[in-house]
Amino acid sequence: MEANKIKGESKSIVLSNGVELTYCERGETHTEIMVCGAFYFHTAMPLVEKLAERYHVYGIVMRFDGEASEKNADGTIHWGRQWGKDIYDFVQSMGIKRFHYFGKCHGTVPGWYFVKEHPEMLLSFSSFFLAPHVRPQNSNHWFELLSGNDTTEMMRVAMKKPEGLKAKMEEMAAIGDNASNPAIPQYAASPEKLWESKEKCEKALKTLSVPIGYLFGSEDPLFDDYLDSNLFAIRNTKGAHTVILEGERHLMELDEPDRVVREVFSFIDGI
C-alpha cells in the first residue's frame, strides 16, 4: 500500500486482478463525482480539498509496479494505458457510471485513456497544464531540469512563491525519487501515446464528444517545450475551453490552488 503518497487519510482497494490501489476520498456528502489520478497527493491536497467543496472526489495513486495487462508489442508495460485501465477498473469496482475527471500534467493521461476508450463515462475532462503532443517538440527544458542536480533551481522555475519550496521538498522526501522511473518521461507527458499514431490522436481531437477544458500557465517551461502541440490542441480540439493564466508556472496547484479550482468550476459551469 502506498499510503505515504497521500498526505492525510488514505484507503486502498484490491481490484479483481489482485492489484491494490491506494486512494483518498473527500467530499463524500456530494452526489456528483470527480475522479483524479496522480503519482502522489501531498502538495496537491489543498486542491483536492477545494474540489471536494463541490464534488465527491476520489484521488487515485498511479502505480509503477505490479501485475499489468496493458503491454507493448515487445512485451514491456504500456504504463500510459495501464494507468487508465487501473482507474477504469477502480470506477467499475466502485459502481461509478459517470464522472468528471480532473488531471494535472501526468494525471491527465488516464483522462485521455477514457476519452479514447470510454468517452461515454466522462461528464467532463479538465486536462490541466498538458495536452496531447501531435507536433514536434520545441525544446526539453522541463525534463532537463528534472534530471539535473540543482533541485532548488528546478523549483524556482516551477513555482512563483518561495515559501512553496519547503512544502515541495518535504513532499519529495516523503514519496521518494519518482523521477528516476522510466515511465515518467516516456508516458507521463505523452498522452498521445495512447493512440496508435499521432495522426489518429489528431483525428480524435478534431472529432471527440467529451467536453475538454485546458489550462496552461504562461511561464510554465513544459508549456513552451511543447508550444506547437499545445497551440494545435487549443485550436483543434473540438469544443475545447482554454485558459492561459499569465504569470503562472508548472506548480500552480501549489502556488494558487484557489485559482486552479476556480478554472475547473468555470469550465464545468460553461458546458
pLDDT of residue 3 exceeding 80, the answer is no
154 pLDDT band (50/70/90 cuts)? confident
With 0-12 / 13-18 / 19 or more C-beta atoms within 10 angstroms meaning exposed / middle / buried, residue 269 is exposed
Q: Which domains does the chain have, with CATH numbers?
A: 3-269 (3.40.50.1820)
2-16, 78-92, 238-252: segment of lowest average pLDDT: 2-16
In the chain, pLDDT over 90 holds for what percent of residues? 82
Mean pLDDT of 31-50: 96
C-alpha distances in Å from residue 142, one per residue of 19, 153, 210, 215, 219 = 32, 11, 29, 17, 12
Q: Nearest CA to 26 among 58, 63, 72, 2?
A: 58
Mean pLDDT of 147-169: 83
pLDDT of residue 179 exceeding 60, the answer is no
Residue 172 cell numbers, joined:
519529495
Enter the pTM of the model.
0.96
User: Which distant-in-sequence residues (6+ apart) come within 8 Å of 3 by Cβ?
Assistant: 10, 12, 22
Question: Residue for cell digits 519547503?
Answer: 166
131-145, 156-170, 238-252: segment of lowest average pLDDT: 156-170
What is the rounded average pLDDT for all residues in the chain? 94
Q: Which helix (H) or strand (E) holds 267?
A: helix 257-269
Residue 186 sits at φ, ψ, to 5 deg, of: -75, -40
